[in-house]
């Protein structure tokens, strides 16, 4: 019997002003009429933090932090600045890896900082289309996991996000997702974690039309949702499918 928490995580990326985030959270809060079993996390842009949110049923996360706690890093935001405003931190998103040259080593430093401050990291990993075509999925995931989790001994949430499925409308098939999630659990076991205890979310073009089926997959412990999370009713529908799967 699996005993892992399930998550529904909204990643707004660079969308929504502070007042739009407040409206979204107010609406979402009013739609939820029972205490969620799903861990519901909304990650707005950092500029939305500090606003008055209805946060009794919804957790707040951020999309990135700097690995340093303070210092001369123009334009950056440290964990100390978000500390009391958020509980989760998305790390290693493929857009950060691609557009901001984030390496596994840098992600590892960020992860250690997040854990030091007792926030929960959501570590994103996933292969590109080229890596998949070259049969390098296992190698890629193993490298990402072992480097990002170096010197880490607490469990973190993993988001499997194949790069080719993010924002493309092309969701991975159930077979691909199950295979990758099992691969990830085996790699976690190999590098000293208990893979059965770690929640692995799927991300990549999740929407209200595919979420119902994907959440029935045994190894899928929830979703990291980009585009479809921007519409509150759409995000709520996905959350409901996860709630119904308990
Ligand atoms: P998407 O993004 O749902 O728009 O594909 C997912 C993500 O980037 O986390």
Contact call for residues 220 and 171 (beta carbons, < 8 A): no
Ligand 1, atom 3: nearest CA belongs to which residue? 226
Q: How far apart are CA 93 and CA 243, in angstroms?
A: 25
- From first to last of the 246 residues of the chain, give the pLDDT tens digit: 567 999 999 999 999 999 999 999 999 999 998 999 999 999 999 999 988 887 789 999 999 999 999 999 999 999 999 978 999 999 999 999 999 999 999 999 999 999 999 999 999 999 999 999 999 999 999 999 999 999 999 889 999 999 999 988 888 899 999 999 999 999 999 999 999 999 999 999 999 999 999 999 989 999 999 999 999 999 999 999 999 999
pLDDT at residue 218, rounded to an integer:
87
Tokens of 220: 């899928």
Q: Which of 81, 50, 52, 39 is nearest to 64 (CA)?
A: 81
Ligand 1 atom at shortest distance from the alpha carbon of 94: 8
Separation of 228 CA from ligand 1 center, angstroms? 8
Ligand 1 atom at shortest distance from the alpha carbon of 229: 3
- Pocket mutation for ligand 1, best pick of 14, 92, 204, 206 (most atoms within 8 Å of C-beta): 204
- 93 given a catalytic annotation: yes
Q: Which of 81, 98, 195 is nearest to 149 (CA)?
A: 195
Q: Which residues line ligand 1 (CB under 6 A)?
A: 11, 161, 166-167, 203-206, 224-228
Q: Which residue has the tokens 């008055």?
A: 52
Ligand 1, atom 7: nearest CA belongs to which residue? 226
- 161 given a catalytic annotation: yes
Q: How far apart are CA 88 and CA 72, in angstroms?
A: 24
> Quick one: CA dihedral 170, 196, 105, 122, positive or negative?
positive
Compute, in degrees rounded to 10, the torsion defined by CA atoms 219, 1, 7, 68. -80
Q: How far apart are CA 204 and CA 159, in angstroms?
A: 10
Separation of 72 CA from ligand 1 center, angstroms? 32
38 backbone φψ class: left, alpha, beta (φ>0; ψ -120 to 50): beta
Tokens of 136: 């390098």
Radius of gyration of the chain (CA): 17
Interaxial angle between packed helices 137-148 and 174-190, expressed in degrees from 0 to 180 and rounded to the nearest 10: 40
Ligand 1, atom 1: nearest CA belongs to which residue? 226
**Sequence-distant (≥ 6) Cβ neighbours of residue 183 within 8 angstroms:** 137, 138, 141
pLDDT at residue 169, rounded to an integer:
83
């Amino acid at each position: 019997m699996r005993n892992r928490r399930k998550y529904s995580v909204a990643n707004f990326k660079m969308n929504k002003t502070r007042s739009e985030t407040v409206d979204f959270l107010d609406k979402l809060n009013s739609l939820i009429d029972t205490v969620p079993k799903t861990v519901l996390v909304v990650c707005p842009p950092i500029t939305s933090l500090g606003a008055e949110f209805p946060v009794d049923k919804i957790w707040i996360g951020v999309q990135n932090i700097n690995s340093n706690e303070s210092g001369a890093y123009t334009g950056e935001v440290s964990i100390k600045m978000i500390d009391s405003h958020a509980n989760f931190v998305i790390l290693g998103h493929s857009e950060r890896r691609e557009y901001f040259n984030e390496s596994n080593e840098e992600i590892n430093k960020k992860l250690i900082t997040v854990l030091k401050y007792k926030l929960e990291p959501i570590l994103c990993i996933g292969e590109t289309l080229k890596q998949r075509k070259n049969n390098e999925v296992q190698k890629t995931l193993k490298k990402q996991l072992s480097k990002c989790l170096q010197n880490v001994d607490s469990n973190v949430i993993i988001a499997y996000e194949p790069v080719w499925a993010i924002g493309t409308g092309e969701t991975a098939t159930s077979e691909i997702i199950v295979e990758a999630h099992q691969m990830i659990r085996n790699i976690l076991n190999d590098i000293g974690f208990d893979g059965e205890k770690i929640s692995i979310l799927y991300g990549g073009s999740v929407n209200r039309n595919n979420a119902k089926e994907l959440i029935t997959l045994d190894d899928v412990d929830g979703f990291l949702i980009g585009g479809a999370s921007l519409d509150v009713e759409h995000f709520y529908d996905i959350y409901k499918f996860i709630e119904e799967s308990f």
